[in-house]
Amino acid sequence: GGGAPPPPLASRGPLSPSLALNPPRPPRALLAIPASFLVRQAQASLETMVLGLVAGALAGAQAIFYYNRKSFLFDRKLRQEQEFKILEFRSEQAEQWRDDVRELLGMTEKKMESYAIVALLMLDACVGMFAEGRLQPGAPPWLLHFYMLTLGGAFMYLAMSAWFAMSASVIANCSSVRLLTHFVRMPIPSWEQLEDTRTYASAFEDVRPAHALRLPFTGSAGRVARVATAAPRAAA
């Protein structure tokens, strides 16, 4: 334990000729691995890395594709709801027009009915005066002539007034029916219009690959929907 320390390397003297000519070799386990095996391992690692990159790129492309397809179908759904809402607004507008026609011509019918009632009441009074409204005995003939002439004229005018009032009421009713059935019809969409509002999922196949694989937040998504919408109509 208390011996002297070993002398430095310089004081140990030169190496033996056997050590100088034969330096230490690595373990035999490392020397046993052939170079071809190492090359194959490197190639396998490179292939695995390339396959991983390709798989990642394909997965990313698939995710982008489904994102754009879902966005396209969502936009088309919103467009369909918008067109249905426009049809609903048009129906409400047409219903307001029909109500205006009914109110305007209905007012004419009511006025003519009022005129006809008044004319018929006065006509009834004229008939009563014809039957019971005689002059006093001994009245001059010229007064009797004027009396009968006045009653006859009133009777004719009141009869024509009642007749015209009833005719105007019938004409107003017929005009209302004609306007409602020929000019102010409800805007019922046709089958072609309903078909135009429909979007097939296969319409996304008409989109260009650059748009189908568009990265999010780049480019114009609305232009993609318009291009896909215009393609089937142009083909038709």
pLDDT mean values, one per 10 residues, the chain (236 residues): 50 50 53 66 82 87 87 89 91 92 90 92 89 80 88 92 92 91 88 84 82 78 51 48
Exposed/middle/buried for residue 140 (C-beta within 10 Å: 0-12, 13-18, 19+): exposed
pLDDT value at residue 235: 47
Exposed/middle/buried for residue 225 (C-beta within 10 Å: 0-12, 13-18, 19+): buried
Buried b (16+ CB within 10 A) or exposed e, 40-68: eeeeeeeeeeeeeeeeeeeeeeeeeeeeb
Over the stretch 63-85, which tens digit does the pLDDT of each residue have? 888 888 888 889 888 988 999 99
pLDDT value at residue 9: 46
pLDDT value at residue 187: 87
Q: Where are the domains of the chain?
A: 40-82+100-199
pLDDT value at residue 92: 92
Choose among 150, 152, 166: nearest CA to 118: 166
Choose among 117, 128, 183: nearest CA to 154: 128
Angle at 169 between CA 165 and CA 173, to 5 degrees: 170
C-beta of residue 109 within 8 angstroms of C-beta of residue 171: no
> How far apart (Å, rounded) are the C-alpha atoms in residues 178 and 102?
11
Which residue in the block uniquely carries the two structure tokens 């489904």?
66
Q: What pTM, to 2 d.p., does this model score?
A: 0.55
pLDDT value at residue 158: 92
pLDDT value at residue 33: 62
Name every residue whose Cβ is closer than 8 Å to that of residue 201 and which is 6 or more positions away in sequence: 73
